[in-house]
Amino acid sequence: MKYTLIVTEKPDAANRIATALDEHGKPKKSVQNGVPYYEAYRNGNIVVVPALGHLYTITSKQKKRNYPVFDYHWVPRYQAEKKAGRIRGWLKVISDLAKDAEIFVDGCDFDIEGSIIGYTILKYACGDKQDSAKRMKYSTLTEEELQIAYDNCLPHLDFALVEAGLTRHEIDWLYGINLSRALTEAAKISSGKYSTLSTGRVQGPTLRFLEEREKDIQTFVPTPYWKLTSKISIDNKIYAVEYEQTLETLAEAKRIQNAAKTKTGKISSVEVHESQVQPPVPFDLGTLQREAYKLFHYTPMRTSAILQRLYLDAMISYPRTSSQKLPPAIGYQTILKKLQKVPAYTKQASELLAKPSLKPTEGKKIDPAHPAIYPTGNLAQKPLDVASRNVFDLVVKRFLAVFVEPAIRQTVNATISLNDYRFCLSLTRTLMEGWFRFYRPYVRVNEDVFPSLTEGQPVDVLQLSLKKHYTKPPLRYNPRSLLLEMEKKEIGTKATRASIIQTLHDRKYLTGVDQLSVSDLGFGVIGVLEQYCPVVVSPEMTRILEEKMAAIQQCKENKQSVLTDAIETLRQVTAELRAKEATIGSQLSLALKQSWLDDRTIGICPKCGCNQLIMLRSKKSGKRFAGCSGFFEGKCSMAYPLPQTGTVKPLGCNCKICGAPMVAVYMRGKKPWRLCLNPQCNSKTMANKT
């Protein structure tokens, strides 16, 4: 029996596609060697088999772990990764199913990653079927769209997207493997110990942003200035007004304070302005990640994972998009009619459906593959967790808000004269809510109480105060602002930026969650790269490479020329790193040693007060404990027991009951718990009694 074989990216997608295409909506599920696949019928027999994301990867042709390395090839993941043994059986099932197929369809997500996944499976597992295969293109996993995508398959794969994706993967692999091996090898030669160090084409420039900001903060010298403020009473309500200028010297500030002292001032001018606040534009991935961080404090990686789950459940459209456009083809009214059935959205959806026409506010960004992120109108088939509910609600309300008229805000700027010295009062309120009503609680604006204000009107002066301030250093990046900076500088892609930030954390180059600062190890790595191969941490170089890969996608550039240029750059860089290997290794070894100490230092030893309390291991039993850094030298006997399982991290604070240091203990699959190191602490006695 011949059939059409559809390859999908994930098992959930295979299930949805098979269910949508089967004429009865009940495809037959089979499992072979742990691999699920589905048999359906729609004008012919169909078999739908999923991948597990990337089944193929790049590896070096040479077995030695040296550098530079420029000879590479694509191989099944199990040949390159020790923990990918499951992939061997997975690929065999796909290859067996391909033998009896007469038509091949790439049903993976329509983006760079999906295109590569489908292409490599069709090429290597299905016997060079990439040239004859068709391509499904869809932006949601709804039944209607999947049926249309199958019935109107593109006649061939999106080869320009495939070429761009292959180029990106190969260049990123070349940069990552060569630079990471160079750093790791240099550190090993110097210290005699192996520690994995990594960098890459996007990691390096991103770390440089953070390093430059950290240096600005650490070298910042605050400058004093003074603010003169007054509390006044208008209509029996108290308002704070501020002198029109900041004052740079104390003498000048006191002079004006004394001269402005009075019990009665007057309103010298009143200006009233009305302005429109335009609705927000539809969500692209980066904007949604930043909004979710601002509102819910979800990291970009967490938001991406939530969006992927909602997409696979057919509740939202494809999330990895840079588009801020909502074309009419998505069916505004159809989506709104579905949302109308949800009590939380009934009122807003009904109001929009009553409009004579629907036209969304749109942004400038365009993605040729997908529209902006929008709800499909489908509801969850099982209860969502709190985070998923929050993100879904945010997507829905953003979608609703873009169809609504602007809000109108009124601003009153009044000048208050105190002995002819001008103080400023600014008040704002909403006159017409417009889209605010549809986007609550995610829109946050001040609503001031407006008193009656007329020129010449007297006001009571209750207080006149002078306060010293200092200029502040630039703020550290948080995940939201770093994402925005990467986007502005065109570093990484919409789909990779969040993972790059996470990688920098995983490599211990960064510390902090809300305020990202560079660790000693991060400073060591970026210092070496800036000194010996500045080109690889240049945002300009990365931006140019991104432009070239975009040009490949537009058939204006070819893969081989871009790869040749990248390899030539790497030849020069790795030669420089090899020549300075001893010096580089010495610098990195110092950074690694400091990083090791930072991870294990709990605080000042509470007994001797002059050494550090650090995590150590007994030379006899091998058990870990917290002890004074002078413990093994016999200088101080301070020691606390530690849990022998889980990861222990210093909290940088002391127990409120006994004053002993506190640590956090992280156990796999469990929430971290706070632990006072003092086994005799009353907190433990009280816990045992309860």
Active site amino acids: 318
CA dist., res. 361 & res. 341, Å (int): 24
Of the candidates 200, 135, 125, the one whose C-alpha atom is nearest the C-alpha of residue 170 is 200
DSSP 509: S
Looking at this protein, which amino acid is placed at residue 578? R
CA dist., res. 17 & res. 4, Å (int): 13
CA dist., res. 325 & res. 332, Å (int): 13
Using CB atoms within 10 A of its CB, is residue 370 exposed (0-12), middle (13-18) or buried (19+)? buried
**145 is written with which tokens?**
């769209």
User: H helices then E strands: how many in the chain?
Assistant: 21, 23
Find the distance separating the first CA and the last CA of the chain, reported in whole Å: 69
CA dist., res. 191 & res. 453, Å (int): 73
CA dist., res. 422 & res. 244, Å (int): 6
Beta strand ranges found along 398-554 (DSSP E): 407-418, 421-432, 458-470, 510-511, 517-518
DSSP bridge pairs for 516: 477
Contact 511, 472 (CB under 8 A): no
CA dist., res. 155 & res. 119, Å (int): 14
CA dist., res. 224 & res. 420, Å (int): 26
Contact 433, 478 (CB under 8 A): no
CA dist., res. 182 & res. 149, Å (int): 47
Q: How many CB atoms lie within 10 A of CB 213?
A: 21
Of the candidates 232, 268, 231, the one whose C-alpha atom is nearest the C-alpha of residue 460 is 232
Contact 36, 150 (CB under 8 A): no
**160 is written with which tokens?**
């320009």
Q: For residue 12, give every residue at least 6 positions away whose Cβ sits within 8 Å of its Cβ, in sequence order, or none.
A: 50, 312, 313
DSSP bridge pairs for 145: none
Q: For residue 663, give every residue at least 6 positions away whose Cβ sits within 8 Å of its Cβ, in sequence order, or none.
A: 602, 626, 642, 648, 649, 650, 651, 674, 675, 677
Of the candidates 548, 551, 588, the one whose C-alpha atom is nearest the C-alpha of residue 189 is 588
SS3 247: strand
CA dist., res. 393 & res. 345, Å (int): 10
CA dist., res. 107 & res. 149, Å (int): 9
Q: For residue 294, give every residue at least 6 positions away whose Cβ sits within 8 Å of its Cβ, in sequence order, or none.
A: 480
Q: How wide is the angle at C-alpha 173 spanned by C-alphas 480 and 298, nearest 5°?
A: 20
DSSP bridge pairs for 354: none
Q: Give me Rg for the CA atoms of the chain.
A: 31
Of the candidates 447, 435, 437, 439, the one whose C-alpha atom is nearest the C-alpha of residue 407 is 435
Helix extents (H) in 102-221: 112-120, 143-151, 159-191, 203-218
Of the candidates 369, 425, 432, the one whose C-alpha atom is nearest the C-alpha of residue 243 is 425
| SS3 readout for 209-237 | HHHHHHHHHHCCCCCEEEEEEEEEEECCE
**228 is written with which tokens?**
């003169």
